[in-house]
Amino acid sequence: MTTDGKNNEKRSSVVSVPDDISLFQVFDEDHDRFAFPGPVYRVTGGHGGEAILIAGSQRTALIDCGMAYCGETTVGNIIRRLSALGRDRLDCVFLSHSHYDHIGALPDIRKAFPKAEVYGSAHCAKILERPGAHSLMKELGQNALELYDPASDKEITTEGLKVDHVLSDGDSVPLGNETVRAFETKGHTDCSMSYLLEPESILFTSESTGIIESREYVHTPCLKSFVQGLASMEKCRSLNPKHICLPHFGLIPQDFNQRYWDMFRAECHAKASYVAEMKARGMGEEEMLANYTDKYWTEAKAMEQPKEAFLINSRHILGVLLKELDELNSQEKRNGF
């Protein structure tokens, strides 16, 4: 089943979703970034990571959960969508990685659907066993609450932040006639996974393979490794999905798929060259960070990511690039980019 404009309008009226901001106005107005083929629906409750519901023929699944501050809204969206489909059960939750903006609402979802089983990578499971990870999740979740919903008295909790079933690269989880296949895609984090829904051929990518911000620019948030991020991109590209759903964005047009992969690869190497130039000019870490922020930060991003989080991530990105410059330059020469 492919949705058309009329169906999309009907779908969106069922749930409460955040308004679009300029950061997402990338393609023509007639492109609906949430017009999924098949029984797939956006149930996102607020800013931050998306939450996507898949209504398989036998089981219902969720890809990521979004932030904690809007968890109750996300749960409400899920319940309304399930009701519209004549269902009342959520069976599976798939985690793309362990960051607060993608899984913060999991405690609310577990409370509403206690029988739902959570799937993620082995490294994600290990991270969520650490008390320090829960403390950080709670702190970041509280910061997001104060930023996006300061009048709320919601208590941010991490109870239930855990993985029930560990997935390895290539594992499959059946939903009936549909199957979700898991693929390790490291680079953004060591726990990142992408998910391919078949037979619809929708690839829900992780942040390791980028986030589109304009038709000319793909953000490359490889906090752990650009080399691994490029390898993850090639893995995703080899799957040749018909539809690509990007984190913090949604679907890109099908005729943009191959260009997107090319843009990601080019931007990884462009950032490496940019950092190499700053290093050659004798810049220290703080000066590099200031220059990087001037180049890549925009106020529109504040609606989806607090500037403090941007600065923390940018510091990681610069550190990774400095460490991997030689390997990235060798790779660039070897492949003729």
Asked if residue 296 belongs to a domain, the reply is: no
Q: Please say if the pLDDT value at position 9 is more than 80.
A: no
pLDDT (tens digit per residue) in 191-203: 999 999 999 999 9
Q: Cβ distance 228 to 186 under 8 Å?
A: yes
Of 211-215, 242-246, 297-301, which one has max mean pLDDT? 242-246
Instruction: Provide the number of structural domains found in the chain.
Output: 1
Q: For the residues 9-31, what does the mean pLDDT come to?
A: 64
C-alpha R_g of the chain: 19
Q: Cβ distance 73 to 127 under 8 Å?
A: no
Asked if residue 197 belongs to a domain, the reply is: yes
| Residue owning tokens 């991997």 | 324
Asked if residue 96 belongs to a domain, the reply is: yes
Residue 294, amino acid:
D
Round to whole Å and give the CA distance between 143 and 122: 28
Q: Please say if the pLDDT value at position 11 is more than 50.
A: no
Domain that holds residue 223: 5-265
pLDDT (tens digit per residue) in 76-132: 999 999 999 999 999 999 999 999 999 999 999 999 999 999 999 999 999 999 999
pLDDT value at residue 301: 81
pLDDT band at residue 314 using 50, 70 and 90 as cut-offs: very high
Q: How many CB atoms neighbour CB 22 within 10 A?
A: 11
Q: Cβ distance 136 to 165 under 8 Å?
A: no
Asked if residue 286 belongs to a domain, the reply is: no
Asked if residue 235 belongs to a domain, the reply is: yes
Asked if residue 308 belongs to a domain, the reply is: no
Kindly state the percentage of the chain with pLDDT values over 70.
93
Asked if residue 147 belongs to a domain, the reply is: yes
pLDDT (tens digit per residue) in 42-57: 999 999 899 999 999 9
pLDDT value at residue 16: 55
pLDDT value at residue 3: 33
pLDDT (tens digit per residue) in 324-334: 999 998 887 77
Residue 136, amino acid:
L
pLDDT (tens digit per residue) in 145-174: 999 999 999 999 999 999 999 999 999 999
Mean residue pLDDT of the chain comes to 92
Asked if residue 140 belongs to a domain, the reply is: yes
State the CATH number of the domain containing residue 179: 3.60.15.10
